[in-house]
């Protein structure tokens, strides 16, 4: 019989009652394959359904539980449109509730006159006669989805809350082996954390608000503790590895060859990197600087320094457009210093690619610039000593390590324009040293920013005409709009909007279009044409967000600005104000939402990327950084860093204390912890150094 089956955390979810092939597929989309995955699938929020309210006290528009008795036999059947409708009247002392069930014909026989049920749903109707549509129905005493604090899960097509809740309930009941506790006992006790079994039970089905708080604290702590351990171990490992050997070189020759004097912050970043590279250990440095702060020159300085020491440099950009732009900037500059550069991207032609590969392998190229194509197996370096990644947050740790394997732990430098609040940088880049470029090149002007509504449209169009008449260019960015839960087709939406602008609004101007669905080569052509002044207005999605330089563009217009995150808006704004002419950013939004107004005000008040990201963190939470997984770190499932910062500090300290006592986690009682940290860092062998 089935009760003889041994079920554990590795059991496939298909063994759960109610989970067939189709639902298993849906669960898989959420990353759930086994019972273990199921119980580690934490709710995104909780809803208190402990209390039932009298029907009379239901508030229209709000969800609530009522306990009511079915007063008449359910009636109904087919209705026009091929649907079915079953209607039931239920009453409690002093209240009447009329319930409609659409496409749930079985309610006709499953609900019985004279019996009492718990109904949970959104109330509507008048005081004398309240209504509910498709409420949850449970019998008293057999409640799973009502009468308690309910978990609310993030769902995907083909699943509903009760399917997932029931599956999780079974997972918890049937997992014979409780998950092993990765927290060492002494840590658990010192920080007053509950047992793991209690935590799993109560994070899904809290016995009380207090139990939920305890469970969450435990899981959040554990998650941040694991991450802290992992990052400390990465750092420790790097500190014992040997890096490509470099001796100090006078940087004056490099500085003197530049067309401008570097800012103090640029020189500091270069000198910090050079110090790392001469330390004997592999450099692992993040260079953070606002858009336009001149990070490319830091990359150039480091590549020049590596070349002086006989090492090759690989510079990776997230897009082909950017790679090409770097190549065009750096190649002539470094040629004057006797260095050879090459460009290698996905669209490099076969013959050229072969030649570049051969030259790289023979060491005839000092700096190779490209996209992820630099990572493919057939790219061999003669002496790869330095790897620079631009806009690192778009590359994952995994990609970083692929490259790392191509050389003998090469020096790595990461350039990022995403100003990350210090608190977050501590975790995201916990294994990196950080240089901050907090100074803009001289003569750079502030981009004046205004937030306006549709009323301003006419004047804006006039302003666009004026900019173009003065010989300047304009970016117009529009967001992808969701309609009926589906994201618009990017190509269609942007193309249609550009067509509208060209035909109805700016018939006398040249409008071009750029969107993410284009082939890299197409994108590049459009971007190059715009940079060369062949069009006046570039209509695009956020694909222009990343680093392309068009100094002649003086106006950035963002449509439906409320749909973008602050950091993203700041990034977009950074596309203008790169030349000598005065530049503007116009944020269009008709949203009256108070938070939106506040966010847009942050944009009009400051140009400081760090301030903006701090505000973004306060207003939106770290979803932007963690949700999108752009940083390449493991996803945080329990922790929410907008409110769990205290726990983070605590967990970090606990991790450091533990590692000070047992640096490689070799003590037997740390076995579970060691295995989990290794898995987290995707070190297949389970060893940590």
Binding site residues, ligand ADP, CB under 6 A: 260, 262-263, 266, 289, 291-297, 417, 441, 547, 549, 578
The yes or no reply on residue 318 touching Mg ion (CB under 5 A) is no
Give the angle subtended at the CA of 490 by the CAs of 22 and 326, to the nearest 5°: 115
Instruction: Give 229 or 330: the residue with its C-beta nearer to ligand ADP.
Output: 330
Distance separating the N- and C-terminal Cα atoms of the chain? 47
Instruction: Give 293 or 542: the residue with its C-beta nearer to ligand ADP.
Output: 293
Instruction: Give 49 or 570: the residue with its C-beta nearer to Mg ion.
Output: 570
Residue 367 binds what, of Mg ion, ligand ADP, none (CB under 5 to 8 Å, by partner type)? none
CB of 626 to ligand ADP, least distance (A): 24
CB of 568 to ligand ADP, least distance (A): 15
Q: Taking contact as CB under 5 A, which single stretch among the options 108-116, 273-281, 480-488, 540-548 is the one that binds Mg ion?
A: 540-548
Closest CB to ligand ADP belongs to which residue? 294
CB of 566 to ligand ADP, least distance (A): 18
| Side-by-side strand order, sheet with 584-588 | 448-452, 584-588, 553-558, 473-477, 537-540, 511-514
Q: Is 536 exposed, middle or buried (0-12, 13-18, 19+ CB in 10 A)?
A: buried
Residue 356 binds what, of Mg ion, ligand ADP, none (CB under 5 to 8 Å, by partner type)? none
Look at residues 385, 403, 43, 342 and name the one whose alpha carbon lies nearest to residue 201: 43
Assess contact for 537 and 494: CB atoms under 8 A.
Answer: no
307: number of Cβ within 10 Å: 21
Q: Taking contact as CB under 5 A, which single stretch among the options 78-86, 531-539, 542-550, 558-566 is the one that binds Mg ion?
A: 542-550
Give long-range contacts, CB 8 A cutoff, 24+ apart: 171-175: 171/13, 171/16, 171/35, 171/36, 171/38, 171/39, 172/39, 172/200, 172/201, 172/204, 172/205, 174/7, 174/11, 174/35, 175/7, 175/8, 175/9, 175/11, 175/35, 175/36, 175/39
CB of 527 to ligand ADP, least distance (A): 15
How many whole angstroms separate alpha carbon 416 and alpha carbon 71? 66
Retrieve residue 109's tokens. 């026989």
CB of 308 to ligand ADP, least distance (A): 21
CB of 630 to Mg ion, least distance (A): 16
| String marking each residue 410-449 x if it binds Mg ion according to CB under 5 A | ----------------------------------------
Q: Taking contact as CB under 5 A, which single stretch among the options 58-66, 426-434, 483-491, 544-552 is the one that binds Mg ion?
A: 544-552
Instruction: Give 243 or 292: the residue with its C-beta nearer to ligand ADP.
Output: 292
The yes or no reply on residue 292 touching Mg ion (CB under 5 A) is no
Residue 302 binds what, of Mg ion, ligand ADP, none (CB under 5 to 8 Å, by partner type)? none
Look at residues 29, 30, 34, 31 and name the one whose alpha carbon lies nearest to residue 14: 34
CB of 510 to ligand ADP, least distance (A): 24
Instruction: Give 229 or 262: the residue with its C-beta nearer to ligand ADP.
Output: 262
Instruction: Give 95 or 547: the residue with its C-beta nearer to Mg ion.
Output: 547
Instruction: Give 217 or 324: the residue with its C-beta nearer to ligand ADP.
Output: 324
Instruction: Give 203 or 415: the residue with its C-beta nearer to Mg ion.
Output: 415
Local structure of residue 44 (DSSP, 8 states):
S
CB of 296 to ligand ADP, least distance (A): 3
The yes or no reply on residue 547 touching Mg ion (CB under 5 A) is yes
Phi/psi for 596 (5° steps) reads: -60, -45
Q: Is 455 exposed, middle or buried (0-12, 13-18, 19+ CB in 10 A)?
A: exposed
CB of 612 to Mg ion, least distance (A): 18
Retrieve residue 461's tokens. 């169009």
User: Considering all CA atoms of the chain, what is the largest pairwise distance in Å, rounded to the nearest integer?
Assistant: 93
Assess contact for 78 and 86: CB atoms under 8 A.
Answer: no
Instruction: Give 537 or 550: the residue with its C-beta nearer to Mg ion.
Output: 550
Residue 263 binds what, of Mg ion, ligand ADP, none (CB under 5 to 8 Å, by partner type)? ligand ADP
The residue behind tokens 């067939």 is 20
Task: Please give the C-alpha separations between residue 447 and each of 88, 280, 483, 545, 609, in angstroms, as whole numbers.
Answer: 62, 43, 33, 16, 12
Instruction: Give 291 or 342: the residue with its C-beta nearer to ligand ADP.
Output: 291
CB of 528 to Mg ion, least distance (A): 17
Look at residues 654, 570, 565 and name the one whose alpha carbon lies nearest to residue 609: 570
The yes or no reply on residue 243 touching Mg ion (CB under 5 A) is no
Assess contact for 572 and 542: CB atoms under 8 A.
Answer: yes
Assess contact for 255 and 287: CB atoms under 8 A.
Answer: no
Instruction: Give 135 or 547: the residue with its C-beta nearer to Mg ion.
Output: 547
Residues linked to residue 289 through DSSP beta bridges, in sequence order: 437
CB of 239 to ligand ADP, least distance (A): 29
Residue 334 binds what, of ligand ADP, Mg ion, none (CB under 5 to 8 Å, by partner type)? none
Instruction: Give 222 or 290: the residue with its C-beta nearer to ligand ADP.
Output: 290
How many whole angstroms separate alpha carbon 365 and alpha carbon 387? 14
Residue 360 binds what, of Mg ion, ligand ADP, none (CB under 5 to 8 Å, by partner type)? none
Closest CB to Mg ion belongs to which residue? 547
Interface residues with Mg ion (CB under 5 A) are 547
């Amino acid at each position: 019989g089935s009760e003889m089956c041994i079920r554990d955390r590795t059991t496939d979810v298909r063994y759960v009652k109610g989970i067939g092939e189709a639902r298993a597929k849906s669960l898989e989309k959420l990353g759930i394959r086994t019972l273990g995955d199921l119980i580690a699938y934490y709710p995104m929020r909780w809803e208190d359904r402990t209390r039932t309210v009298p029907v009379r006290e239901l508030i229209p528009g709000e969800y609530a539980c009522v306990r009511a008795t079915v007063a008449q036999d359910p009636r109904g059947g087919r209705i026009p449109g091929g649907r079915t409708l079953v209607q039931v009247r239920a009453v409690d002392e002093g209240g009447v509730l009329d319930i409609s069930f659409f496409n749930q014909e079985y309610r006709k026989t499953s609900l019985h006159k004279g019996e009492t049920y718990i109904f949970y749903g959104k109330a509507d109707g008048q005081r004398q006669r309240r209504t509910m549509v498709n409420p949850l129905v449970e019998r008293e005493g057999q409640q799973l989805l009502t009468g308690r604090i309910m978990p609310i899960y993030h769902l995907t097509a083909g699943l509903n809350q009760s399917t997932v809740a029931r599956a999780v309930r079974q997972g918890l009941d049937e997992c014979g082996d409780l998950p092993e506790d990765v927290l060492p006992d002494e840590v658990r006790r010192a920080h007053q954390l509950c047992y793991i079994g209690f935590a799993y039970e109560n994070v899904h089905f809290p016995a009380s608000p207090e139990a939920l708080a305890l469970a969450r604290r435990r899981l959040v702590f554990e998650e941040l503790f694991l991450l802290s351990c992992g990052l400390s171990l990465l750092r420790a490992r790097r500190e014992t590895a040997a890096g490509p050997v470099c001796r100090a070189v006078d940087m004056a020759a490099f500085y003197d060859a530049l067309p401008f004097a570097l800012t103090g912050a640029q020189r500091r970043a270069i000198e910090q990197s050079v110090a790392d590279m001469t330390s004997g250990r592999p450099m692992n440095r993040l260079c953070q600087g606002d858009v336009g702060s001149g990070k490319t020159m830091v990359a150039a300085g480091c590549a020049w320094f590596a070349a002086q020491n006989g090492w090759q440099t690989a510079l990776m950009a997230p897009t082909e457009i950017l790679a090409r732009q770097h190549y065009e900037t750096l190649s002539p500059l470094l040629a004057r210093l006797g260095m050879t550069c090459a460009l290698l991207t996905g669209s490099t032609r076969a013959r050229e690619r072969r030649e570049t590969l051969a030259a790289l392998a023979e060491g005839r190229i000092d700096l190779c610039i490209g996209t992820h194509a630099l990572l493919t197996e057939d790219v061999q370096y003669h002496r790869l000593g330095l790897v620079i990644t631009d806009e690192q947050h778009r590359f994952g740790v995994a990609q970083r390590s692929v490259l790392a394997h191509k050389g003998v732990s090469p020096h790595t430098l990461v350039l990022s324009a995403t100003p990350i609040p210090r608190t977050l940088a501590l975790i995201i880049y916990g294994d990196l040293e950080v240089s901050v470029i907090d100074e803009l090149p001289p003569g750079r002007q502030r981009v004046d920013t205004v937030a306006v509504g549709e009323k301003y449209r006419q004047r804006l169009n006039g302003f666009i005409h004026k900019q173009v008449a003065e010989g300047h260019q304009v970016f117009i960015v529009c967001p992808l709009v969701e309609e009926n839960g589906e994201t618009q087709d990017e190509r269609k939406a942007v193309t249609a909007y550009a067509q509208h602008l060209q035909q109805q609004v700016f018939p006398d101007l040249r409008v071009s279009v750029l969107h993410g669905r284009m082939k890299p080569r197409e994108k590049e052509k459009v971007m190059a044409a715009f940079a060369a002044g062949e069009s006046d207005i570039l209509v695009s999605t956020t694909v222009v967000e990343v680093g392309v330089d068009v100094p002649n563009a003086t106006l950035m217009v963002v449509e439906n600005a409320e749909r973008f995150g602050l950091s993203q808006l700041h990034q977009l704004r950074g596309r203008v104000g790169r030349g000598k002419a005065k530049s503007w950013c116009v944020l269009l939004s008709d949203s009256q939402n108070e938070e939106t107004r506040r966010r847009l005000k942050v944009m009009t008040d400051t140009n400081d990327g760090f301030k903006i990201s701090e505000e973004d963190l306060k207003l939106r939470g770290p979803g932007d950084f963690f949700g999108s997984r752009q940083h390449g770190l493991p996803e945080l499932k329990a922790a929410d860093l907008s409110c769990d910062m205290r726990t983070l500090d605590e967990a970090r300290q606990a991790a450091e204390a533990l590692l000070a006592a047992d640096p490689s986690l070799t003590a037997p009682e740390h076995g579970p912890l060691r295995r989990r940290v290794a898995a987290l860092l995707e070190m297949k062998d389970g060893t940590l150094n």
